Every structure is written in C-alpha cells, then in structure tokens.
Structure 1
Amino acid sequence: MTKNAIGSIFFLAFSCFYFFNVFNIKEMPGGQFEVMTASTFPFYIGICGIIISLLILILSFVKKDTDFLSIQYLKTMDFKTTMYFILAMIFYGFTIRTLGFIISTIIFLLIGFLLLKEKNIKRILLISCGVSIGFYLLLNNVLGVYIDPGMLYEFIIGDQS
C-alpha cells in the first residue's frame, strides 16, 4: 500500500468522524428555518473531506507509486516535531478561554514558527501578531462573529461578559 493510500485512509476516517459529529451541533431556537446555521459550513467541509480523500484513495490505486511505505521512509519522517505540534495545539485549546483568542493565537503561532526552525524573530513576531489581530478584527468587525476576549482581559479590565 502506498503512502498516498494510507494517508487518504486516515483523512477519510477523520472526515467521516468530523461529518458525523456535525449533526451534534446545537442550533439556535427557530434556526431550522435559516439558510445558514452553525452546522452548514462544517457539513460542507465534511462532505468535501470525504470526497477528496476518496479521490486520493482511488487515484493511489490507479496510479501505482514506486516508493512504498517502508522502514526507510518512516525513518525520514519527523515524528518528534509532529508530537510537539500536537502538544502546542492542546496547549492552545486549553489556553484560549483563559488568555483569550489574540494572546493564545500569538503564542501558538510563535511556537509553530519556532518548531519549523524560522530564525528571523522580527518576521515571527510580525506575522504572529498580524495574523491573530487581523483575524480577530475580521471575525468580530466584518463577519459579526463574537469571539470572547478571555478571562485575562476580563480580569484586567474588570469587565464581566
């Protein structure tokens, strides 16, 4: 079995799990008559993930790759960095409520850049701060999606939400 086939099987399993959990998203009262609900976008992402993974799986059997998944190939993969990224995502998930979206995202992006061995500190800080603040402003001000500023902000400002 080729690496594309194995990767597409994992992606298919993840997409199916994601798609079936879309139906557990709670809707607002009276939201069943709306065109766009909280589950509309995740529904289509799940469908697209399933279709793409099935296409990759079919194409991996049609077009045979000569490099099979072997021990030498597994030795070239960087599982240590992958595990660090998974730990960084878990950290991000636990700190987003406490530190807020902006600070947690900046820290997560900083860690990500450092894991990818980016050396330019100015570039790391500029991109991390710019992306997190820009995305926050886009969601809050343009799209109207409320993002909780976090308990740290509420503690410093003394505001209760």
Structure 2
Amino acid sequence: MNKTFDRYAGIVFLAIGAAFVVGSRSISTSAYGSNVGANIFPMVLGVFLALMSLRLIYETFRKQQQQQQAEGRKKEALDYKRFGIIFVSAVLYAYFLEDIGFVLSTFLFLLIGFQTMQRGRVGASLLISACFSGGVYYLYVYVLDGSLPGFPAWLGLS
C-alpha cells in the first residue's frame, strides 16, 4: 500500500463523489414506472464515495504518523497488475450492464474484484457476490419501486 498514492486517490475520489452529488441534483426526481427518482442512486453512490474517500485520507495520515514513529521510510511497489484487472473489469461492468443485467454483471464484477484482491476462498466470494447483487436488486426494485436492468432475456428469468 502506497500512502502517497492512497492520499491523492482519496482526494480525487472525494472530488468525484462530490461531482456525483452535485450532478445528481440536476437529474429529474421522478422516473417513468418508478417511485424512486433517477437522482437517488447517483446521489447515494456519490455520498458513499465521498465518505469512503474521507476515511481513506484520514487513514493515510494516521498510518503515516504511525509509520514514521515506528521505523524509517521504505519504498513500496505499486501493484499495477491488480489495478489493471479491477479497472478493466469496472469498464466491462459498465459496458455490459444493460446487456446482461444488473444482477449478473454486479455478481461477476464483485467476484473478479474479490478474487483479484485475495486469491482463494472462492465459496465465500461466490456467496457474498450473489447475496450483495441479489440483495441490492431486490431492495431497489421491489422495496423502493425503482428500476434496474434485470436478467438478460436469453436466460428466461425476466
């Protein structure tokens, strides 16, 4: 973990989260066939991203102080391979979201992300990915009366 990179990434993601919140305010508050407006999901994601970014920035300063007190500076290598895998999977997630649906694309994205960050424990990764993607879909579509792309038509589950 590179503290300088984490700090700058936290600042960039804080700005992106703030932009999501500001941008979501210009989206209409009602949507056809949905009681939840199209502005809610980006606003919640923006707030969540901003809060997580603040936490990351705080942690980098705290870790830096602890590290300086405990030992001298060490050079840490950046893990470009993991970053590349997660970046490509995020781009593919956004590209295929409409084609294969929210549940399946979110499940695959989370599974790839979990296995990229920590190899092994495939069963736990499968369970968490399935529960999260299915749970968010159920909560948003059935509880909040929102609309998300369901399953692809070729599966026959729509």
TM-score in terms of structure 2 length: 0.65
2:119 pairs with one of 117, 120, 127 = 117
- Cα gap change, 1:59/1:102 in structure 2, threshold over 3 Å: closer, same or farther? closer
Confirm or deny: 8 A CA contact 1:9 1:53 kept in the other structure.
Answer: no
- Give the whole-Å Cα distance in 1 for the aligned partners of 2:142 and 2:9: 37
SS of the aligned residue for 1:23 comes to helix
The aligned runs of 1:149-160 (5 Å cut-off) are 149=150, 152-153=152-153
1:90 corresponds in structure 2 to 91
1:14 corresponds in structure 2 to 13
1:72-118, CA deviations, whole angstroms, 9 ceiling, x for partnerless residues?
x21xx432122111111111111111100011122223323432312
Over the aligned positions, Cα root-mean-square deviation in angstroms equals 3.6
- C-alpha deviation, 1:5, in angstroms: 4.5
SS of the aligned residue for 1:108 comes to helix
- Give the whole-Å Cα distance in 2 for the aligned partners of 1:110 and 1:47: 24
Unaligned runs of 5+ in 1: 31-35
Rg larger in 1 or in 2? 1
- Give the whole-Å Cα distance in 2 for the aligned partners of 1:15 and 1:96: 25
- C-alpha deviation, 1:49, in angstroms: 5.4
- Cα gap change, 1:109/1:50 in structure 2, threshold over 3 Å: closer, same or farther? closer
Confirm or deny: 8 A CA contact 2:13 2:50 kept in the other structure.
Answer: no
107-116 or 81-90: bigger deviation: 107-116
- How much identity, in percent, do the aligned residues show? 17
- Cα gap change, 1:23/1:147 in structure 2, threshold over 3 Å: closer, same or farther? same
What number of residue pairs does the alignment pair up?
145
